[in-house]
Chains A and B, each alone.
Chain A
Amino acid sequence: MRNPLTVLKRRLSEHREVRTDGGTTSAGSILDRDSVRSAPFWLPPFLLIGLFIYGAIAWNIVLSLTDFQGLGTPDYSALDFENYVVAFFGGTPSWSELTVSPIWNSAWNTVVLMVSFSVVCLALGLVLAILVDQEIRFENTFRTIYLLPMSLSFVVTAKFWLYMYNVETGLVNLFLGAVGVGPIEIVQNPDLKLAAVAFALIWQFSGYAMIVYLAGLRAIPTSHFEAARVDGASTVRMYWRVIIPQLRTATVSALVVLTVFSLKAFDFLFSMYGGYQPGPSADILATRMVREAYSNGNWAYGSAIAVILFIMALAIVTPYIYSQYKRGEL
């Protein structure tokens, strides 16, 4: 059945391509009327995110250029990059009498946490997905259990793991004791703190990676598995050579989501250490930003750190969205 609208639609999509190539304008076409007619639907939500997300980001950028501190109000007439200079090099900013330390420590922790957390999550998720994909019984039950921690709040997870890491009664140390190690102080141990945080987050989110990979595996035609079998490849080789390369899309999308999750680990650290200061070994940009603004009252400086965090997120997300767009998957 070919009705005129389908034809029209196809024409529209052609139009769109023309436009991306370099802008033919066609004012007054049906398209414009559609955008207007559907405006009651998309415009209010768009204004809402425009105001609360993009408006707030823009405002935050401006705030980061002020000297807004403590009880004062932001003075928008004197904007400068002082807060960024302080963030990168330390020093005594004009809004304080004391020296302010740069962000390198927390930036480094952020990167370490981000990388270790995402990589281990992905690896574990992939292994689990492959195992679950072996036509096992009770597949649903296993899947449900693996994803269960993801339904919990960071705050709850932190409470559970604070208990797990307890030197005397924590299961982690009971387990270590059983294999003849420890007991080991974990929560305030500078060498283990960040790893302990990453481990708890991996517990919480590896199920997510599994779900994404499982969807990816199920999308691979059975014939690929069979073809590899006929070639006589071993299971490990088959997955390594044939299957895993086809999971690139799943990997990228899981990776992006996981990295962004790790940037949000503030809630976890706040709950674990009962406040804004988790200590230098576990301090990440997310905690530093909130601490500077909401605990120390250094609003503008906090905003500057937030902008840096935002740029980090943007650096990860923009290529992803762009490639999704290129492949027409948006």
Chain B
Amino acid sequence: MSTETGRVGEWSLFGHSLRRVVLYSILVGMGVFYLIPIETGIMTSIINPASYTGSFPYLPPLEPLVPGTGTLSLEPWQGAIDGLGQGLVNSVILVVPATIFSGLLGSMAAFGLTTISWRGQIGIYILFVAGIFIPYQAVLVPLTQFWYNVVPLQAVFAPLATLPFVQEYHWKLVALIITHTAYGLPICTLLFRAHYKKLSDEMVEAAQLDGASVSTIYRRIILPLSIPMFAVVFIYQFTQIWNDLLFALTIVQFGDAAVVTQDLVGIGVSQSGTNFPLRMAAALLAALPTLLVYIFFGDKFAKGVAA
């Protein structure tokens, strides 16, 4: 479908058709559009706050060479690490189990609702899919009530706080892990179901004829075939949960268990001497894990969002 260069009647520039030149200019221009807020953030985050003028926020700090750009310093990053350190640790404690649980349970649900087919499963499955689109606001007040007034999780959890590395405030993270697992399930189930529908029936059927139990089929056949999909699901869930603010705001609320997005919101307000270099460093630090995941596994992420 593409137009090869040098079609009759087309303008050309250095042997490239003008059409291609325009095309690439637009593509690069859009690339700049998507990258420049991040690039500006990176450049600003390594400026020594004392030398920051804001005149050329998109240029690297090259002060002695280029006046007005500020001098290079990692001080903002140091400040960001001080400000967000605990939040980062809490986010990791939250994200890892919540991602694994929602992925694993999603795979199981999709298996039970797809590979093993039975009447009425579509009705159950629709409830899963609809869950993807629920605005979280519709459940916030009950969730707060549930975790604080109905389930005595804090009291149950308190004895565990004597274990090494376990703090009493971790109970809030446990509540958040369970909540995120539940709300991640719909999309995980959808992704796995799409995958399982494509798998050939034959192996499963053969195994069933051999008298294999449902759980054997899952463990021996489906699980190994799901590994590529697990990568997609984990990456998607990791990003979603890491980036969430609303649940953390209403379930953790405040205190030692605050996650990184909560700390990032507050950084300009609480930390004295806040400045744009610090704010940008903090924003980038909070975004770093998802950015890295995206840069290394971008194709899998694209697969996840496109589903």
A binding-site residues for B, Cβ under 8 Å: 1, 3, 5-6, 9, 12-13, 15-16, 19, 31-32, 34-35, 37-46, 48-57, 59-60, 63, 68, 73-74, 128, 131-132, 134-136, 140, 142-156, 159-161, 163-164, 166, 168-171, 174, 203, 207-208, 211-212, 215, 222, 225-226, 229, 256, 260, 263-264, 266-267, 270-271, 274, 285-286, 289-290, 293-294, 299, 302-303, 305-307, 309-310, 313, 316-317, 321, 325, 330
Contacts and interface: CB of A to CB of B under 8 A. Distances in A.
Nearest to A303: B141
Contacts of A57: 134, 138-139, 142
Contacts of B179: 52
List 6 tightest A-B contacts by C-beta distance, closest first: A169-B54, A42-B112, A41-B112, A153-B243, A52-B182, A151-B294
A286 to B, nearest CB: 6
Given A45-B189, A53-B131, A293 B141 contact: yes
B1 interface: yes
Contacts of B12: none
Contacts of B264: 153, 155-156, 159, 271
Interface string B238-274: 0100111110011000000000010011001100000
Interface of B: 1-3, 23-24, 26-27, 30-31, 33-38, 40-41, 44, 54-55, 57-58, 105-106, 108-109, 111-113, 116-122, 124-143, 145-146, 149, 178-179, 181-183, 185-186, 189, 201-202, 205-206, 208-209, 213-215, 218, 239, 242-246, 249-250, 261, 264-265, 268-269, 276, 279-280, 282-284, 286-287, 290-291, 293-295, 298-299, 301-302, 305-306
B268 A32 contact: no
B122 to A, nearest CB: 6
A163 B118 contact: no
A147 B302 contact: yes
Contact of A260 (B36, B111, B133, B265): B133
B128 A49 contact: yes
Contact of A155 (B117, B142, B218, B243): B243
Contact of A270 (B33, B111, B249, B293): B249
B185 A45 contact: yes
Nearest to A150: B305
Contacts of B146: 56, 59
Contact of A163 (B1, B44, B122): B44
Contacts of A229: 1
Contacts of B183: 52-53
Given A5-B209, A63-B141, A321-B129, A153 B34 contact: no
Given A6-B201, A159-B264, A163-B44, 13 more contacts: A34-B117, A37-B214, A56-B138, A134-B2, A148-B34, A148-B298, A151-B293, A153-B261, A163-B276, A171-B36, A171-B57, A306-B140, A310-B138
A163 B44 CA distance: 10
26 contacts: A6-B201, A32-B119, A41-B109, A41-B111, A45-B106, A46-B124, A48-B182, A53-B131, A57-B134, A57-B142, A59-B145, A135-B1, A143-B302, A150-B305, A151-B287, A153-B287, A163-B41, A171-B36, A203-B33, A211-B305, A256-B133, A289-B137, A294-B249, A307-B138, A316-B133, A321-B130
Nearest to A124: B30
A151 B40 CA distance: 17
Contacts of B244: 153, 267
Contacts of A13: 117
Nearest to A207: B34
B135 A56 contact: no
Contacts of B133: 256, 260, 313, 316-317
Nearest to A53: B131
Contacts of A32: 118-119
A145 B39 CA distance: 12
Contacts of A256: 133
A63 to B, nearest CB: 6
Contact of B135 (A45, A286, A299): A286
Nearest to A159: B283
A96 B213 CA distance: 60
A330 B122 contact: yes
Nearest to B107: A41
Contacts of A170: 57
Nearest to B108: A41
B138 A60 contact: yes
Contacts of B185: 45, 48-49
A260 B135 contact: yes
B111 A225 contact: no
A151 B301 contact: yes
A144 B31 CA distance: 10
B37 A164 contact: yes
Given A163-B40, A256-B133, A321-B126, A306 B141 contact: yes
